C-alpha cells in the first residue's frame, strides 16, 4: 500500500504540473477559469488529484486543490464562507454539516443543475444519497467518498479451532461474526487476555484486548456510539429536536461495558490509533468502524504473523453512515464551473459541452475516463466510492483486489440493510455544532469521570444551549 500511496502522490504531482501544458493546444492557460477545491489532506484526496487533471483536460478550467487537516476543515471552511472571500469554490462537507451550510446560504442548491442528469444522480447508493445529497427537497452536492461503518475483525482468531472450542464451552454457542450486541460483548470479553496467557495456543508477549474503541477526545466516539443508539431504535435527536436522555444513557452504558475490554489507549485515540493497535496485534475486532479504512486494516496481515482480516456488517446491522460531500460555495465567482467539477468528481457527468470546438477529442475523453470511470479509477487507487455501479463492479470482488476493495460487498449489504435510514442529526442546521460538541460529555463518561446518566443529561443541556431550545429539524 505504501508504494501505491507514493505512486498516487507522484501521479498527482506529475499531472498537476503537466496537465496545463499538455492541454495547451485546446485551451490556453490564460483562458482557464480558476476554481479552488478545499478538501481533506491525505491519501484519498491525493488520488483524487489525479482525476482533477482529467477534469481539466475536458474543461477550460484550472482546479487548485487545497489540503486541510480533517479536524480543521470545518472551521476553516466556515470562516472563509462567513468572510465571503470566494476563496473556495468547491467545499468538502461532512454529512452533519450539510444542513448548516445549506440553511445558512453557504452553498448553492444544485437541483436545477441535475434536472437533466437524473440517471447519474440515481447511481449514488440510495441510502447514502438520501442522507448526504438532499435537504429540504433540494440537492446540495454529491458524496464522493464514504466512510460508512461496519465490523472489521481478525478472521484468523475466529477460525482457530482452539479458540472456537473454548468459546463454545464458555458461552454455549459458536464463535462467529456477531449479529447482536450481546454476542459482540461476549467476543470482546472472550478475547481479552493478559500477557503470558495464550492466544491461538501460543503464549502472548503483551496484553491482548477484545475490542478497539475510539474513545479519545475526537468526534469519532459518537460515530461509534451511533451504531448502538440507532440499533436500539433511537436517534441522537427526537423529532421534537431534543436529546432522548434515557436512550442515550442506555447506549452509553452499553458502550461503557465494552470499555472494559478495550486497551487503555482507547481513551486517547481515534480511528488511526485503533488501526495502529490492530496492525500491532493488540486487538481482536473493532466495533463499528469506518470501512474506508479496510485497505489500512488489511496491512495487519503483513505485520502480524498468521493474521487474516475479515469485514462484515456491524452487529444489529446499524452503524454510522456518512460521507464527504462536495458542494459549491455561494461566494464562488465561478459557480457554473464549480458545479461541473462537483458533478465530475462525484463521478457522473462528462457531457463536455465546453469542448465543442473539439467534439472528437471530447468524446474520446468521455470514452476514456467517463463519469463512472473516474470513480472506478479512484476505487482502484484504494478510495471508497459512493456509486452503486462501482461498488458492485465484479472486478472489485475478485481475490486479487481484496486488499483494496474487499469491503465493497459489505458496503452494499450495509446500504441495503439501512435503506431509508435517516438521522435527525443530519437534518438540523445545528448538526455540525452538535457534532463538534457531543464528544465532550460522552468522553467524560468513557473516562469514568461521570456516569452514563450524567453524560446523557449533559448532552441534552449542551444541545439545548446550542440550538437555543429544541433544535429545528428540516427534512
Partner 1 sequence: MSQSLSVPTSRQRTAAGQAAMSDRWFSILLVVPAMVVILVFALLPLAYALDVSFRFADLTRGRIGDFVGLDNYRTVLHDKAFWDSAWVTVKFTLSAVFLEMVLGIAIAFLIHGATVGKGVIRSLMILPLATSAAVTGLFWRYLYDTQFGLINYFLGLIGLPEPNWLGDYTIALWSVILFDVWQWTPFVALIALAGLQALPKEPFEAAELDGASTFRILRTLTFPMLKPVLFLVLVLRTIDSVRLYDAVAVLTRGGPGTVTETMTFYLYRTGLKLFRMDYASTMAIFFLYAMLVASLFALRPLLTQFSSRASEG
Partner 2 sequence: MLQRDSSFAREALRYGLIVLVLGFIVFPIAWMIITSFKPPEDVMVSPPRFLFTPTLENYVHAIYDKNFLFYIKNTLFISVTSTVIVIIAGSLAAYSFARYNVGDGHLLFFILSTKMFPAIAVILPYFLIFRDVGKTGVGRFLGIGLDQPGALIISYTVFNLPFAIWLLVSFFQDIPRELEHSARLDGLSRLQVLAKVVCPLAAPGIAVTGVFTLIFSWNEFLFAYILTRKVASTVTVGVESFFTLQGILWGPVAAAATISVLPMLVFVLAMQRYMVRGLTFGAVRG
Site stretch for partner 1 (CB under 8 A), options 39-47, 107-115, 404-412, 436-444: 436-444
| Alpha-carbon torsion angle 273, 387, 435, 223, nearest 10 | -50
Contact residue for partner 2 among 15, 45, 286, 354 (CB under 8 A): 45
Instruction: State the minimum distance, in angstroms, from the CB of residue 161 to partner 2.
Output: 28
What is the rounded CA–CA span in Å between residue 260 and residue 316?
Answer: 21
- The 133-172 site mask, x for binding partner 2 (CB under 8 A), equals ----------------------------------------
Q: 67 or 401, CB closer to partner 2?
A: 67
Q: 19 or 248, CB closer to partner 2?
A: 19
Q: Residue 42 binds what, of partner 1, partner 2, none (CB under 5 to 8 Å, by partner type)?
A: partner 2
Contact residue for partner 2 among 15, 296, 300, 423 (CB under 8 A): 296
Instruction: State the minimum distance, in angstroms, from the CB of residue 252 to partner 2.
Output: 27
Q: 90 or 432, CB closer to partner 1?
A: 432
142 contacts 325 by C-beta, under 8 angstroms: yes
Q: Residue 198 binds what, of partner 1, partner 2, none (CB under 5 to 8 Å, by partner type)?
A: none
Q: Is 272 in the site for partner 1 (CB under 8 A)?
A: no
Q: List, in order, residues 6 or more apart from 28 with CB less than 8 Å away.
A: none
Sign of the CA dihedral running 2, 292, 408, 251: positive
275 contacts 296 by C-beta, under 8 angstroms: yes
Q: Residue 43 binds what, of partner 1, partner 2, none (CB under 5 to 8 Å, by partner type)?
A: partner 2
Site stretch for partner 2 (CB under 8 A), options 94-102, 289-297, 344-352, 358-366: 289-297
Q: 75 or 180, CB closer to partner 2?
A: 75
Q: 283 or 312, CB closer to partner 1?
A: 283
Strands 198-199 vs 309-312: parallel, antiparallel or unpaired = unpaired
Q: 111 or 268, CB closer to partner 1?
A: 268
Q: Is 72 in the site for partner 2 (CB under 8 A)?
A: yes
Q: 83 or 448, CB closer to partner 2?
A: 83
Q: List, in order, residues 6 or more apart from 385 with CB less than 8 Å away.
A: 145, 146, 347, 375, 376, 378, 379, 391, 408
**Which residues would be at the binding site for partner 2 (CB under 8 A)?**
2, 5-6, 9-10, 13, 38, 40-45, 64, 66-72, 76, 79, 83, 85, 87, 206, 271-273, 275-276, 279-280, 282, 292-293, 296, 302-303
Amino acid at each position: 500500500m505504501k508504494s501505491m500511496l507514493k505512486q498516487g502522490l507522484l501521479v498527482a504531482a506529475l499531472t498537476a504540473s503537466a496537465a496545463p501544458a499538455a492541454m495547451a493546444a485546446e485551451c490556453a492557460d490564460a483562458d482557464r477559469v480558476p476554481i479552488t477545491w478545499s478538501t481533506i489532506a491525505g491519501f484519498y484526496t491525493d488520488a483524487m488529484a489525479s482525476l482533477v487533471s482529467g477534469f481539466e483536460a475536458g474543461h477550460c478550467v484550472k482546479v487548485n486543490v487545497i489540503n486541510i487537516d480533517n479536524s480543521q476543515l470545518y472551521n476553516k471552511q466556515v470562516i472563509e464562507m462567513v468572510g465571503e472571500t470566494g476563496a473556495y469554490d468547491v467545499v468538502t462537507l461532512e454529512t452533519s454539516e450539510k444542513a448548516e451550510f445549506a440553511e445558512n446560504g453557504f452553498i448553492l442548491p444544485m437541483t436545477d443543475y441535475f434536472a437533466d442528469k437524473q440517471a447519474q444522480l440515481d447511481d449514488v447508493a440510495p441510502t447514502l444519497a438520501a442522507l448526504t445529497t438532499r435537504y429540504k427537497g433540494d440537492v446540495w452536492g454529491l458524496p464522493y467518498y464514504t466512510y460508512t461503518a461496519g465490523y472489521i475483525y481478525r478472521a484468523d482468531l475466529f477460525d482457530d479451532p482452539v479458540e472456537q472450542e473454548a468459546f463454545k464451552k464458555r458461552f454455549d454457542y459458536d464463535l462467529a461474526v456477531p449479529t447482536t450486541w450481546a454476542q459482540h460483548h461476549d467476543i470482546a470479553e472472550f478475547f481479552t487476555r493478559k500477557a503470558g496467557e495464550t492466544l491461538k495456543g501460543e503464549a502472548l508477549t503483551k496484553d491482548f484486548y477484545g475490542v478497539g474503541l475510539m474513545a479519545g477526545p475526537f468526534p469519532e466516539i459518537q460515530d461509534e456510539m451511533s451504531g448502538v443508539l440507532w440499533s436500539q431504535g433511537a436517534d441522537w435527536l427526537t423529532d421534537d429536536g431534543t436529546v432522548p436522555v434515557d436512550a442515550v444513557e442506555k447506549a452509553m452504558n452499553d458502550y461503557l461495558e465494552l470499555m472494559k475490554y478495550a486497551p487503555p489507549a482507547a481513551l486517547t485515540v481515534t480511528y488511526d490509533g485503533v488501526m495502529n493497535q490492530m496492525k500491532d496485534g493488540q486487538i481482536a475486532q473493532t466495533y463499528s468502524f469506518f470501512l474506508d479504512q479496510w485497505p489500512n486494516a488489511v496491512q495487519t496481515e503483513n505485520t502480524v504473523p498468521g493474521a487474516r482480516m475479515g469485514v462484515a456488517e456491524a452487529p444489529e446491522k446499524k452503524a454510522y453512515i456518512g460521507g464527504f460531500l462536495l458542494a459549491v460555495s455561494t461566494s464562488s465567482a465561478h459557480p457554473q464551473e464549480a458545479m461541473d467539477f462537483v458533478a465530475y468528481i462525484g463521478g457522473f457527468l462528462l457531457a463536455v459541452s465546453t469542448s465543442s470546438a473539439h467534439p472528437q477529442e471530447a468524446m474520446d475523453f468521455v470514452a476514456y475516463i467517463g463519469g463512472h470511470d473516474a470513480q472506478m479509477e479512484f476505487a482502484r487507487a484504494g478510495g471508497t466510492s459512493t456509486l452503486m455501479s462501482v461498488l458492485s463492479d465484479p472486478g472489485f470482488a475478485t481475490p486479487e483486489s481484496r486488499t483494496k476493495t474487499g469491503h465493497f460487498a459489505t458496503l452494499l449489504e450495509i446500504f441495503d440493510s439501512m435503506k431509508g435510514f435517516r438521522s435527525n442529526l443530519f437534518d438540523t442546521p445545528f448538526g455540525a455544532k452538535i457534532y463538534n460538541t457531543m464528544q465532550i460529555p460522552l468522553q467524560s463518561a468513557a473516562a469514568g469521570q461521570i456516569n452514563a446518566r450524567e453524560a446523557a443529561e449533559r448532552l441534552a443541556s449542551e444541545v439545548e444551549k446550542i440550538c437555543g431550545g429544541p433544535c429545528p429539524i428540516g427534512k
